[in-house]
Structure formats: C-alpha cells, structure tokens
Structure 1
Amino acid sequence: MTAVELRVPVAAPADRTWAALTDWTRQGEWMLGTDVRLTSGDGKGVGSELAAFTGAGRLGFTDTMRITTWDPPRRCVVLHTGAVVKGTGEFVVEAVNDTTSVFIWIERLDLPLGIVGRLGWPVVRPAFTWGVRRSLAKFARFAEGHGR
C-alpha cells in the first residue's frame, strides 16, 4: 500500500469548501481528466456510490467508490471498489478561521499490477502528484466561487 497526502489552502469557509468538495457531479470542473456520476444514493452519506472516469476519450478507466465515512463539513472517506484502483480516499476540510479553510486529499492505494505496479510507482508518482496538485489549485478557485 502507498499513501499520498496533499493540501491546498482555500479562501472560503469550511462549509463552502465542503459543499464544493461534495458536489460530486461537478468534480470534472476541477479534477484533471475526470468525470464523476452518482451510481447509488444521493452522494451525501454512507453507502452512496460514485463512478469516476479518468482519461481522455475512450482511453482511461473507471474508478468506482462507496462512501464509508460521512462527517460533514469535516471528513469523507471512500472505499475504491474498482478493478484498477483499490484502497481508500479521504477528503478532509479543516477550518482555519471564518473565511479560510484547508482541503486535504489523502489516498491510501493498493497499487495495481503486483510487482510491476510497485516497481513502477516511483516513476508514476511524480506525474500523479503533479496532476493532483494542479487539480487541487483549480479546486481552491472552484470552492471560492461555489454557491455564489
């Protein structure tokens, strides 16, 4: 298992950051190459399921997830249930003050492809991290204007 944790400051209160974060079907507006849809439930509690296609055109994969922890406006944990991505994703919003928050993205992943995946991760990790950092910077802008 490998873990990645990234943070981004957001010039928005925690409740607005949470609302933007859990606006699942709009995640493609800030997450690089991703389109999310709800497959079960309303996306606002334990048991709801999501499917996120990441890629371009027909080249990519679908990451299916089930919400296992729901603690608004602070924390959501998803269990990755797909064929490619396994493990957990954790989304944490920390209030800094009444107008600022921090969004923390944590992934604990079982790498696919066995030994090939473990050996390849050091090569892939910088690009993965770069993509998520870029997406989180976009998320901060998205959250700052969300619901206005």
Structure 2
Amino acid sequence: MDGTGSCHAEASVVLRLSPEAAWDVVMDWDRQSRWMLLTRVWGTENDGIGVGGGVAARTSVGGIGFTDDMVITHWDPPRECTVKHLGKIVRGTGTFTIAPVSSGSVFTWEEDVDPPLGRLGWIVARPAFELMMRVSLRRLLREVQA
C-alpha cells in the first residue's frame, strides 16, 4: 500500500508487435475477453474510446461475480490508457502502458486499487490478483502469437 491507502499491482509482457499493433490488440475491449482471465470486457460510453469513454468488465466464477464500471481518464495512443474504476468492489485506477523495445513492445498492466477491506483485504487478495494478472498476460501472449 502507498501513503494514499491505494494498493499497487503490476505485470508486464514483451509482445512481438509494434507499439501501434500492440495498442490495437490490447485496447480492443471485446478481444480482452479472450485473454483476461474470468472476465468479459466491453466498451460502453463512446465504445470505450478516448477520455470520457466507458468500459465495463464482468468478472465471475461459476456465475458469481461483479461488474466493474470504468471511465477513461487518460488516452494517449499508442502509449497509455488509464481508467478510473467506479464500482463498489473495485475502486482506484488501472493503466495500460506500451513501450517500444528492440523485439517489439513491452505491455505493462498496473492497478492502484482501494480494496474493500483495506490493508487486510489486500494481504488476502494480492496473491490471487497478481496471479490473475500474470496468467492473463500469458494468455495475451498466446493470443498474439496464434
């Protein structure tokens, strides 16, 4: 946790894609449903494009879950997108960053969230949350290599 009470999680993967191609894959909200573990994602307001655009993500296991409504607060193709989580369960920000490297692009997914039970909740949730991020990025890698 940082000084604001927010908890940070981060994961990265190298994609053999140009930053522009990586952006097109990662920012295709519907396509995220194929690689983001246990989650269906879709654009809402303005189809999830640009500052003020909306995104929703339904995360569930066995039919039990929650919908995370988000608004885009920063949009800088093909480099960075930040969303603000507006829900009762997930609050905070999420950022996707794409940086060029010699082999393609590095995609980094960061979350700064305020967990429902604060520090205690984060101690319990963090390992599973970070595992979900890593598994999702492995799935993304398979998706773009297919």
Partners of 2:124 and 2:98 lie apart in 1 by: 30
Q: Look up the SS of the partner of 2:14 in the other structure.
A: strand
Partners of 2:110 and 2:135 lie apart in 1 by: 15
Residue type of the alignment partner of 1:109: V
Query: Structure 1 vs Structure 2: percent identity of aligned residues?
Result: 47
RMSD across aligned C-alpha pairs, in angstroms? 1.4
Q: Detail structure 1 runs of 4+ shifted over 6 Å in the superposition.
A: none
- After superposition, give the CA deviation of every residue in 1:81-131 in whole Å (9 maximum; x if it has no partner): 11110000000000103x511000110001113xxx421322221111111
- After superposition, give the CA deviation of every residue in 1:11-38 in whole Å (9 maximum; x if it has no partner): 1111111101110011110000000122
Partners of 2:68 and 2:51 lie apart in 1 by: 18
1:94-133 aligned within 5 A? 94-97=99-102, 99-113=103-117, 117-133=118-134
Between Structure 1 and Structure 2, how many residues are aligned?
141
- After superposition, give the CA deviation of every residue in 1:23-65 in whole Å (9 maximum; x if it has no partner): 0011110000000122210222111101100012430011110
In structure 1, list runs of 5 or more residues that go unmatched: none
Report the TM-score, using the length of structure 1 for normalisation: 0.89
Residue type of the alignment partner of 1:107: E
Report the TM-score, using the length of structure 2 for normalisation: 0.90
Partners of 1:90 and 1:143 lie apart in 2 by: 20
